[in-house]
Amino acid sequence: MTGILPSYQRFVNGVPVPSISRRSFRLREKYLIVSVLLTFGIVWLGALFYLPEFKSSSSVNDSVYKVYKHIQKAGPELLMPPPLAQNDVGDPGIIRHGGGEDPHIIGDRNRLRAKIEEDMGMKVLERPQFDVVPSVSSSKGPQKNPVDAIEEPDAANNGGSKNISPSGPKADASDKYVAVALGPNADADQISKLETIKGMMRHAWNNYKLYAWGKNELKPISKRPHLSSIFGGGDMGATIVDGLDTLYIMGLMDEFREGRDWVAENLNINEIDSELSVFETTIRFVGGLLSCYALTGDSVFKTKAAHVADALLPAFETPTGLPYALINPSTKVSRQYHWAGPNSILSEVGTLHLEFTYLSDVTGKEVYRQKVDRIRDVLHKIEKPNDLYPNFINPRTGAWGQKHISLGALGDSFYEYLLKAWLLSGKRDNEARIMFDIAMEAALDKMLKVSPGGLSYLAELKYGRVFEDKMDHLSCFSGGMFALASTTLENTQSERYMDVAKKLTHTCHESYDRSETKLGPEAFRFTGAVEARAQKSNEKVYILRPETFESYFIMWRLTKDQKYRDWGWEAVQALEKHCRVEGGYSGLVNVYHQRPQGDDVQQSFFLAETLKYLYLLFSEDELLPLEQWVFNTEAHPLPIKSHNPLYRLHQPSPMDNQV
């Protein structure tokens, strides 16, 4: 078996002569040997002293990290250097005609490069855990508790001169959101709980950074990237984009900076040659980037949000304007889910409005608003069975599919976005609020049920009759939704909305409390003696979902009932006991086992939603007040128009009309 390096043997009269002289190696061979030795020496020293996953913000470690990345990329060329030029000193016998290179050498180098990339993607060096203490901001404003004072993204580490936005202009310090979680009189218990949740975020982020940086999600038990997530195995950094605003809100500014820099340098959706969900990409990527833009004013986030949204636009090219479910950003080819036949999903086509309208307002490009306004027009004018919206609709014909209706999976966030589109507009989008109230009156009349044990739940309908006496975990957002509806507009439904909000949130808590782990199942039923418990194996999983905590947060803000904080802390303790592993946080296969098996997936929404809502639950109301911010369905906060100075409405300039 031949090695990488070529070998030569000298013969005299047919007899091999030992190579013992100083000139036994040709210059080409010496170059290769020295290159190999230098490469292994540099990599060894780097592995021993400067693990790249732990580079700090200091200039020394930054420079070492850059050297490491250069060596990583240049590895195949160092081990197997390209041929010398014709005018270089060396053996002319290894130069091909026309300056070409031996095809065997090319093949060896390509195989070596592929092996290095594979190993770098699947293997990492272990390191000790560490915590990053956020710096104290020196910006103007009220005195902050040191625990929660947050350094501005461009704060004065170097006399105020450092700019972390090389891809865009630096915003003024006064133009950034200063997140203060606690007031000056906060008690020790509240501080401790917030610090615990912040530590959970740090643990989830650091392990993703160590084992899956740049990939979409982490397998925390296997300690490797999760390559079969909804975004596949590409380098889209879903966890980075989804978690950035949570890092900012918690004051984890070193982590925020490294995530921001990855977005600026590496996020290129057009390079992804696989099918992406238009819905999921919108709520996680477009929503997450726009939230960071609102919070910081860093234009790189706005630019990247438009970049992602532009890649999704071909999916809207249908006769009705209702988008297809999936799109390949590289080929621009769109299609539906195989299991949905020719239909699009109500919750997916109806959960784009917040992101696309806000993107139009901050970029001045009306194309995004036009796309979602056309969807709204179709859904507003179509005949609805008993004022309810079925879960499936054909984007070619505009006709409903099977008459399955749910406020859980397939339907949920459509209704949420009717209410929140009205709120985001500064309560000017009256059409959205009217559509919401009409649909919710019908839903509560036909879908709200009460179990023999007195638990209220939202059943599913099919062809106008109760289809299943079950409630999805996804439906547990509805407690917070009805509470927001009750308190933001006084009408004939307001009192009923708040009553339903309290009862549904209580039912969702019961689904947690009736499990051995104190974490809620994916779905729970109300049949016979079974109430608020899962029955099927695929319903017993917990995948780190946030919907129940979302309702706890909103109900606490609006009612100040202490039980919602108590329930939230129970959940924090359960997550720490059952979901925390050495490599991050894992979902559970069965919440009814006292020692449940992990599913080995750290979902990106765990950082975007679950930990954010738990953190906000124990913060002061002044942190992202509901009067100024609306949370998209992925918990990314967007500023309310005319009520929040950080809305950042695009200001037209003469350059806008130039080609």
Residue 597 placed within a domain: yes
Residues 443 and 579 in one domain: yes
Q: Which two tokens stand for residue 116?
A: 């290095």
Spatial CB neighbours of 3, under 8 Å, sequence gap ≥ 6:
none
C-alpha–C-alpha distance, residues 256 and 248, integer Å: 6
Same-domain pairing of 52 and 201: no
Of 386, 574, 411, 540, which is closest to residue 481 (Cα–Cα)?
Answer: 411
Residues 109 and 251 both lie in one domain? no
Element (H, E) at 580: strand 580-581
For residue 385 the two structure tokens come to: 């069975």
Q: pLDDT (tens digit, 9 = 90+) per residue, 194-232?
A: 999 999 999 999 999 999 999 999 999 999 999 999 998
Residue 449 gets which letter from DSSP?
E
522 is catalytic: yes
The active-site residue out of 522, 531, 547, 550 is 522
Residue 139 pLDDT: 33
Confidence at residue 32, expressed as pLDDT on a 0 to 100 scale: 74
Give the domain extent around 266. Answer: 175-657
Same domain, 321 and 463: yes
> Which tokens sit at 239?
């966890």
The SS3 call for residue 589 is coil
Quote the pLDDT of residue 46: 62
Instruction: Specify if 444 maps to a domain.
Output: yes
134, part of any domain: no
Structure tokens at 102: 């031996």
Alpha-carbon span 331 to 328, nearest angstrom: 6
Residues 397 and 529 in one domain: yes
Tokens representing 502 are: 């309290």
- In the prediction, which pLDDT does 43 show? 67
Number of helical (H) and strand (E) elements in the chain, helices listed first = 20, 21
Is residue 179 domain-shared with residue 118, that is, in the same domain? no
Please report the pLDDT score of residue 27 as a whole number.
Answer: 67
Q: List, for the chain, all residue ranges whose pLDDT scores fall below the cut of 50.
A: 1-15, 17-23, 50-174, 658-659
Residue 531 lies in a domain: yes
| Distance separating alpha carbons of residues 516 and 595, to the nearest angstrom | 9
Q: Distance between CA atoms of 320 and 306, rounded to whole angstroms? A: 23
Phi/psi-derived region of residue 364, left when phi > 0, alpha when psi is between -120 and 50, beta in every other case: left
The closest alpha carbon to 311, from 265, 357, 335, 278, belongs to 278
Residue 44: predicted pLDDT: 65
Ramachandran region of residue 149, left (φ > 0), alpha (ψ -120 to 50) or beta? Answer: beta
Q: How many domains are contained in the chain? A: 2
Mark whether 337 and 461 lie in a shared domain.
yes
Domain CATH number, residue 194: 1.50.10.10
Residues 118 and 211 in one domain: no
pLDDT at 34: 74
pLDDT at residue 553, as a whole number: 98
In a domain, 94, yes or no: no
Q: 333-358: per-residue pLDDT in tens?
A: 999 999 999 999 999 999 999 999 99
In-domain check, residue 15: no
User: Do residues 61 and 185 share a domain?
Assistant: no
Q: Are residues 59 and 207 in the same domain?
A: no
Burial of 29 (0-12, 13-18, 19+ CB in 10 A): middle
CA dist 250 and 587 (Å) reads: 23
Q: Are both 203 and 110 inside the same structural domain?
A: no
Q: What is the CA radius of gyration of the chain?
A: 28
Kindly state whether residues 466 and 361 are assigned to the same domain.
yes
Q: Is residue 140 part of a domain?
A: no
Give dist(CA 107, CA 512) in Å, integer: 57
449's torsion region: left (phi>0), alpha (psi -120 to 50) or beta? beta
In a domain, 162, yes or no: no
